[in-house]
Amino acid sequence: MKDFSFEITHICKQSNARCGILHTPHGDVETPIFMPVGTLATVKFLSPEELKDLGAGIVLSNTYHLWLRPGSDIVEKAGGVQKFMNYPGPMLTDSGGFQVFSLADSRKITEEGVTFKSHLDGSKLFMSPEDSIHIQNQIGADIIMSFDECIPYPATYEYAKQSTLRTLRWAKRGKEAHQKADKQALFGIVQGSSYEDLRKMCAEELVKMDFDGYSIGGTSVGEDKETMYKMIDYAVKYLPEDKPRYLMGVGALNDLLEGISRNVDMFDCVLPTRIARHGTLMTSKGRISIKKAIYKDDFSPLDPNCDCYTCKNYTKAYLNHLYRCEEGFGSRLMSIHNIRFLTKFMEEARRAIKEDRFNDFKNDILNNMPFDERGF
């Protein structure tokens, strides 16, 4: 009996966007959902208790990084990643496939797997699809990913085709290697770069393998927004409606809205905590850079529409002071706010879907929020 399932609870009459519930061994979460990234079994500067208070449901950790430190065997001995980091809610691990992309200067891809250098000490490493699944079985997250190659953009058609076919072969090998299918949901990852026929082929072949859910990979790797949204379209139309869809590496508001419109259920990104550490805050009036001198004597809350601990207790002037003094407390407060901003945003998106007004919600934000070429 599998401990993972997905149900659609409402389809917006105005937009056809959907709400659902993911049932996992560590609890139920409503979708669409934004998942904070805790690369090393920690979301930088935030405690697990704070994550729960901020409305985080699923937290993502990184297979490659936990494999190197502290070692997936250590996490397994601790009783799994939830017990290791004291986070009682659902968790997801990526496959290590993104490191195939990000460590491109030091890796070699073969049919068997990927050889690359450790970013820590330069030592030689090798990961196969079977290794990736075994490591994720040890880490013990509720949802795990197939091993894939995240194709760089742009890519030639021939390169994208050969890579996508290999990703499919790796997906089959990984599924056969999965030792905890009753406890951990395994998602296939749709690749294919910007080519519609490759995305279609990849999605259809993964569906034949019958995964628990499906991820859309290879986006947010340098392509323009129009191309990115086409990539999503090319994949989603061939995925089963009764399985969850996960758009990897996306956290800008306009991208979340476009993904939800296309019936994507899950999103993750390092964006909120990464930009927080550099003094950039997501607010209901757009992004602001707290380092600017105009905030030095601004004693108003960061965002009067936000209910987070930071906005309830501290001013822009104090955040400006902490940032300029390079105080860690400033990074904590700003990370708390940015995570809460996105979890609250998704709560509002779910409410709009349930009330059959998601198009109005989406258009209001897109028309009134200041966006730049990166999004918001």
Phi (first) and psi of residue 322, to 5 degrees? -65, -40
Non-local CB neighbours of 24 within 8 Å, separated by 6+ positions? 3, 4, 58, 90, 142, 143, 185
Phi (first) and psi of residue 135, to 5 degrees? -60, -45
Neighbours of 106 (CB within 10 A): 13
Q: Which of 224, 268, 364, 372 is the catalytic position? A: 268
CB 265 within 8 A of CB 18: yes
Tell me the helix, strand and coil percentages in the chain, rounded to 5: 45, 20, 40
Say whether 284 sits in a helix, a strand or coil: coil
Give the residue from 235, 220, 226, 318 showing the smallest Cα distance to 270: 220
H/E stretch holding 53 reads helix 48-53
Let me know if 307 is a catalytic residue.
no
Non-local CB neighbours of 161 within 8 Å, separated by 6+ positions? 195, 198
Let me know if 94 is a catalytic residue.
yes
Determine the straight-line distance between the first and last CA of the chain, rounded to whole angstroms: 42
For Cα atoms 112, 113, 116, give the angle at the middle one, nearest 5 degrees.
140
Q: Which of 3, 94, 148, 212 is the catalytic position? A: 94
Give the residue from 154, 152, 188 showing the smallest Cα distance to 171: 188
Neighbours of 69 (CB within 10 A): 10
Q: What is the DSSP string of 251-278?
A: -SHHHHHHHHHTT--EEEESHHHHHHHT
Dist CA 232 CA 228 (whole Å): 7
What is the chain's alpha carbon radius of gyration, rounded to the nearest angstrom? 20
Q: What are the beta bridge partners of residue 286?
A: 283
**Which of the residues are catalytic?**
94, 268
